[in-house]
């Protein structure tokens, strides 16, 4: 997981010129839930990696699909094998730009809008979502939520279950970032 977080940061650094301030989160949280006739389907991963380049407002996220844990092992197996095909499509990623002007040195809370590409189940889609950025004591935290339609990302729900499982997934996430000073040669 450390390697993936490092790669995320390096991806941001490529576009930097001179000194820049990059903030990195190695252990964020992401969870989701969906309605089903038998109850809610929910899972959580504590391995959401992210980085923010405050020089150009670029933000990236990545989570290994297999790190989502469910209450029941059968549901977790079905999720990985039948729905997400996590052997074939191991990660979900997002790369975007925070559109809202943020003073990264000023403490406080800011509602932001980001536009970018979410890649899930090997399908990439442009989207615009909002989040809350909190800056305090030199650290940045980001919290947000959004909805994903299963059909947009080729996630197939068997016809026999399609009337009993929601086709929309509600996703919530949060990361606490630490500063990482980077110099480009």
Task: For residue 17, name the pLDDT band (cuts at 50, 70, 90).
Answer: very low
Task: For residue 20, name the pLDDT band (cuts at 50, 70, 90).
Answer: low
Task: For residue 10, name the pLDDT band (cuts at 50, 70, 90).
Answer: very low
CA dihedral 154, 158, 159, 161 (to 10 degrees): -120
pTM for this prediction: 0.85
pLDDT tens digit sequence for 104-152: 999 999 999 999 999 999 999 999 999 999 999 989 999 999 999 999 9
Domain 2-183 fold = Lipocalin (2.40.128)
- Classify residue 90 by burial, with Cβ atoms within 10 Å: 0-12, 13-18, 19+: middle
Average pLDDT of the chain, as a whole number:
87
Residue in the structure block whose two tokens are 């964020």: 28
| pLDDT score, position 11 | 52
| pLDDT score, position 185 | 45
Distance of CA 172 to the CA centre of its chain: 9
Domain ranges of the chain: 2-183
Q: Check pLDDT > 90 for residue 52.
A: yes
Say which residue, 6 or 73, is predicted with more confidence: 73
């Amino acid at each position: 997981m450390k390697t993936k977080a490092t790669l995320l940061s390096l991806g941001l650094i490529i576009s930097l010129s001179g000194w820049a301030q990059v903030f990195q989160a190695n252990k964020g949280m992401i969870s989701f839930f969906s309605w089903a006739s038998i109850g809610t389907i929910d899972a959580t991963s504590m391995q959401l990696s992210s980085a923010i380049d405050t020089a150009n407002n670029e933000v990236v996220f990545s989570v290994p699909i297999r790190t989502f844990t469910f209450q029941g092992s059968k549901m977790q197996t079905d999720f990985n094998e039948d729905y997400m095909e996590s052997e074939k499509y191991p990660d979900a990623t997002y790369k975007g730009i925070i559109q809202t002007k943020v003073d990264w040195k000023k403490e406080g809370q800011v509602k932001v809008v980001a536009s970018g590409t979410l890649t899930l189940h090997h399908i990439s889609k442009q989207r615009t979502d909002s989040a809350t950025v909190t800056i305090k004591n030199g650290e940045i935290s980001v919290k947000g939520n959004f909805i994903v339609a299963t059909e947009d990302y080729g996630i197939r729900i068997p016809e026999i279950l399609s009337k009993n499982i929601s086709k929309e997934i509600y996703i919530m996430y949060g990361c606490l970032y630490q500063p990482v000073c980077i110099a480009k040669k």
